């Protein structure tokens, strides 16, 4: 029997710009098709760091060039735009690869909103840099006119920072579940999802935030009752003492072992740490669930137990 799998694609699976993305997606589609061909149900989530930054920069340039004609584009709208064009490339690349293998299976992208808690402490401490670098004068103007939070970024200029709240629930989960049950391959929660929170009545309002795609993928996997969460990244396995002479690659981890290593500061914040945290959360959420962290091209071998780092109870 195949597994129900949620795959969280890292940035290396998509490239840094449109030409790179079109090339990268072809290789990404081959790796995902390998999993589908062996009978697994697959749902794909992905990051959008370079893409949403590019969209933000373009929108900022338009506003700067003609402020009377163009108004600032909310971050939530930029995330929606990135979901659309990344999903367009992913679903076409995967459809083509599946048909080349004689597999007739629908592939579809769901524009996905993810609910966050407006009381999440992350909103009081924005830390996620987004968009283009600015001069101090440009940054001061944005602070004064729009109330943005900005930081000086490693001597390279000033950047806007936004909150990175934890996901609460996937708004379109019923639609995604129905599509998976019907046998479709679904692309969802792009860029961690469009962050929204509930206001009066049933209205959802976009939040000036970025949701970590690994945490969003974990929430998606739990709400879909998936068997496995696969987090694809730039290394084949998780390591402790990374980059040191006594570096050690890990084949498997229990949640308790992972917490011990996290407490020792073994995993870099903003890099491997959220991946391990999301993997632990999913593995603990229900007996029998497991998470795998590995390279894109090693995903099939990882499911078969040949490589990668598996986190399970």
Instruction: Give the sign of the dihedral formed by CA 54, CA 59, CA 60, CA 66.
Output: positive
CA 149 vs CA 54, 117, 281: distances in Å: 19, 19, 30
**Contacting residues for 142 by C-beta, under 8 A, at least 6 apart:** 134, 148, 150, 160
> Is-catalytic flag, 306?
no
Q: Which of 12, 57, 92, 105 is catalytic?
A: 12
> Is-catalytic flag, 275?
yes
**Sequence-ordered alpha helix ranges (H) in 38-135:** 49-65, 75-100
**Residue pointed to by tokens 């293998």:** 101
**Cα 85–87–92 angle (5° rounding)?**
105
Q: Strand 185-187's sheet: what is its strand order?
A: 107-109, 185-187, 41-46, 4-9, 228-233, 290-295, 309-312, 252-253
> Is-catalytic flag, 12?
yes
Q: Which of 40, 131, 213, 298 is catalytic?
A: 213
Q: Which of 11, 30, 92, 206 is catalytic?
A: 11
> Is-catalytic flag, 11?
yes
Q: Which of 10, 53, 87, 275 is catalytic?
A: 275
**Contacting residues for 305 by C-beta, under 8 A, at least 6 apart:** none
Q: Which of 15, 40, 53, 128 is catalytic?
A: 128
Structure tokens at 263: 């407490």
> Is-catalytic flag, 128?
yes
Catalytic residues: 11-12, 128, 213, 275
């Amino acid at each position: 029997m195949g597994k129900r799998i949620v795959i969280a694609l890292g940035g290396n699976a998509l490239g840094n710009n449109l030409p790179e993305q079109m090339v990268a997606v072809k290789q990404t589609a081959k790796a995902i098709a390998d999993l589908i061909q062996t009978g697994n149900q697959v749902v794909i989530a992905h990051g959008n760091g370079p893409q949403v930054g590019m969209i933000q920069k373009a929108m900022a340039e338009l506003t700067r060039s003609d402020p009377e004609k163009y108004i600032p584009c909310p971050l939530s709208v930029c995330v929606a735009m990135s979901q659309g064009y990344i999903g367009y490339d992913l679903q076409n690349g995967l459809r083509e690869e599946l048909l080349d293998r004689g597999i007739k299976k629908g592939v579809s992208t769901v524009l996905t909103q993810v609910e966050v808690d407006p009381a999440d402490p992350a909103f009081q401490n924005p830390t996620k840099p987004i968009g283009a670098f600015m001069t101090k004068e440009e940054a001061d103007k944005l602070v004064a006119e729009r109330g943005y939070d900005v930081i000086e970024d490693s001597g390279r200029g000033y950047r806007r920072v936004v909150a990175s709240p934890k996901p609460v629930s996937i708004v379109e989960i019923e639609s995604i579940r129905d599509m998976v049950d019907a046998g479709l391959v679904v692309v969802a929660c792009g860029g961690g999802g469009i962050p929204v929170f509930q206001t009066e009545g049933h209205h959802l309002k976009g939040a000036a935030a970025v949701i970590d795609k690994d945490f969003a993928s974990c929430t998606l996997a739990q709400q879909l009752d998936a068997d496995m969460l696969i987090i694809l990244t730039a290394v084949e396995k998780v390591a402790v003492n990374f980059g040191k002479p006594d570096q050690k690659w890990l084949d498997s981890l229990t949640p308790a072992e992972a917490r011990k290593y996290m407490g020792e500061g073994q995993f870099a914040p903003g890099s491997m740490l959220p991946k391990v945290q999301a993997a632990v959360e999913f593995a603990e959420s229900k007996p029998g669930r497991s998470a795998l962290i590995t390279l894109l091209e090693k995903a099939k071998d990882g499911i078969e137990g040949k490589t990668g780092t598996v986190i399970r109870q």
